Amino acid sequence: MTRKSGGRPGARGGGRDGARPGGRDLSVVVRSARGRKTSSTRWLQRQLNDPYVAEAKRRGFRSRAAFKLLQLDERFRLLRPGLQVVDLGCAPGGWTQVAAAAVRPGGSVVGLDLLPCEPVDGATLLDLDFLDPGAPDRLAGILRGPADLVLSDMAAPATGHAGTDHLRIMALAEAAHDFARTVLSPGGGFVCKLFQGGAERGLLDAVKRDFRTVRHAKPEASRSDSAETYLVATGFRGGA
C-alpha cells in the first residue's frame, strides 16, 4: 500500500471550512545543487511554490492531500457528524485528520496502513494491510458495525512508466472497492483515487452495479499536470 504525499507528522487537523488557500505573491526559484537530480529540483521548486503545501503547514494538516478531501466533501457532502469512516492507506494522515474532525460528535474514523502514522486526534489507527483476510472483522469490532464511508487516496509508488503506473493504481482501486463491499452499510459511500488511462471501464461497471450514484471529480487541489481523478460512489446497494 502506499501512499498519499507526505507532510509534517504529528499535527492536528481542522474541519471542512476553507477548502481553498489564499493566493501567494512571491515565488521561490530553486537552483540545482551539485549532485541533485533535475527532477528533484523541479519537485522541490513545485513544493515551495504550491499554495496548498503552505496552507497545509499553516493549518497543521500532514499533507496537501487534505484539501482534496475537503473539496470533495464540499461538493458531494460526504462527511457529517455521527458517521463511521474507514481511511485505507491513511499515512501520513491528512485525510484521516479531515474525516475525524468532520464526523464529530458521535462518529468514528479508523485508518489502516502498513506505513507508520502518528496518532490523529479522534481516530483509531491500525498497522494493518487492508488486504489481510481478517481486516474486515477487526474493523467491524472497532466500529461496532458496518462503515458508512470508505476512503482511499492510495497510489502505488511510481515506476516512471505511465502504462505500468496506471495498471498498478487500478489494481489498488479494485482491491479497495472489493474491501468496501464487505464493510459498508446499506446506503454507504466509497471514494477512491484513479489515474486516467483507459483501463477504468471494468471497475466503473462494477461500482455502478453496487452503488446508485457514481461520479468522477478532480478537486482543485489536484495538480493540473496530474492524471489523477477521484471516483465518488454513494448509495451502496448491498450491506455488510
pLDDT (tens digit per residue) in 4-23 = 443 333 333 344 456 777 65
pLDDT (tens digit per residue) in 157-192 = 777 787 787 788 899 999 999 999 999 999 999 999
Instruction: Let me know if 57 is a catalytic residue.
Output: no
Let me know if residue 177 belongs to a domain.
yes
CB 186 within 8 A of CB 237: yes
Q: Name the nearest CA neighbour of 118 among 9, 4, 208.
A: 9
CATH code of the domain covering residue 94: 3.40.50.150
CB 195 within 8 A of CB 165: yes
CA distance 71 to 220: 7
Let me know if residue 221 belongs to a domain.
yes
Query: Is the preceding omega at residue 133 within 30 degrees of 0, hence cis?
Result: no
Query: Is the preceding omega at residue 51 within 30 degrees of 0, hence cis?
Result: no
Cα 39 to chain centroid distance, Å, stands at: 25
**C-alpha dist (Å) from residue 193 to 35, 228, 233:** 34, 7, 12
| Residue 189 lies in domain | 66-236
Cβ-defined contacts of 196-202 (< 8 Å, 24+): 196/227, 196/228, 196/229, 197/162, 197/163, 197/166, 197/170, 197/227, 198/166, 199/166, 199/167, 199/170, 200/170, 202/174
Instruction: Give mean pLDDT, residues 82-90.
Output: 97
Let me know if residue 45 belongs to a domain.
no
Let me know if residue 212 belongs to a domain.
yes
pLDDT (tens digit per residue) in 36-77 = 455 444 544 454 447 888 898 999 899 999 999 999 999 999
The yes-or-no verdict on residue 24 having pLDDT over 80 is no
Q: pTM to 2 decimals?
A: 0.80
pLDDT (tens digit per residue) in 99-122 = 999 999 999 999 999 988 999 999
Let me know if residue 19 belongs to a domain.
no
Residue tagged active-site, from 37, 57, 68, 193 = 193
Let me know if residue 61 belongs to a domain.
no
Give the number of domains in the chain: 1
- What is the rounded average pLDDT for all residues in the chain? 82
Let me know if residue 7 belongs to a domain.
no
Let me know if residue 132 belongs to a domain.
yes
